[in-house]
Amino acid sequence: MNATEAQFPYPWQRCKIIHLVRHGQAMHNVEGDKNREALLSPQLFDAQLSPLGLQQVSKLRQDVHASGLLKRIELVITSPLYRTMQTAIGVFGSESHEDGGNEIFSSISAALNCPQIMAVELCRDRLGVRPCDMRRRVSECRALFPSIDFSMMDGEDDNMWNPDVREPEEKVAARMILFMKWLWTRPEQEIVIVSHGIILQHILNVLGNDCHPTVRSALCKRFDNCELRSVVIVDKSLIGGD
């Protein structure tokens, strides 16, 4: 194949740079590694980051600042679960404080050099059955993370989570298609998505349909906790539409 055959020019305004971040290790990851049945425990409701997860967030924050990435990011989208909001604020927010004897990251103020952080229901973890994947009431989330924008939330209570039915994989995939369609309506060009391993893999599956199988396999591999993976995406449907 000629080298030029795999190269395609696209207008920059039709592209976005997306940085995908899986949350740091959370308590349900710790307990689930010991016993998968633990994921059904009500004690793991909306699981928080573990001590190791907090360390992972601190390390990624250092890397993001050192690389200059923070200065380029225009918007951070986060799942509204506690572990992802902790990760979003810890890496891309402005301040930290002690809470309940355990260091967590909070956004007391929106610092001038920090991007907007927005909670979006569509990119939350797989729904149903497991209490660790159920979210808190929006009013409680606002009190815990006052500078996160919750205007996109579907309601005060978690009406998406079903105690008896686990969301099928095909519905997760369909939800990610809706999420990516919504993402293209945003004016920002460089965006962070802080979410969950299975959700990020489904996002990359949606984006990687046109990729060579080797590229797609590498792109869609499992995310480690607090891993950041960056991709450039193109809205091909608009090409030639002017």
Question: How many residues are recorded in the chain?
Answer: 242
Measured CA to CA, the distance from residue 28 to residue 43 in angstroms comes to 9
Which has the closest alpha carbon to 24: 85, 69, 74, 75?
85
Q: Is 61 exposed, middle or buried (0-12, 13-18, 19+ CB in 10 A)?
A: buried
Give the mean pLDDT of 224-231.
Answer: 95
Write the pLDDT tens digit of every residue in 111-167: 446 899 999 999 999 999 999 999 999 999 999 999 899 999 989 999 999 999 999
Range 14-234: architecture per CATH: 3-Layer(aba) Sandwich (3.40)
Please give the distance of CA 204 from its chain centroid, rounded to a whole number.
12
Q: Where are the domains of the chain?
A: 14-234
Write the pLDDT tens digit of every residue in 66-120: 999 999 999 999 999 999 999 999 999 975 443 323 344 444 434 446 899 999 9
Write the pLDDT tens digit of every residue in 37-59: 889 999 999 999 999 999 999 99
Write down the pTM of the prediction. Answer: 0.87
Q: What is the DSSP-derived secondary structure letter of residue 112?
A: T
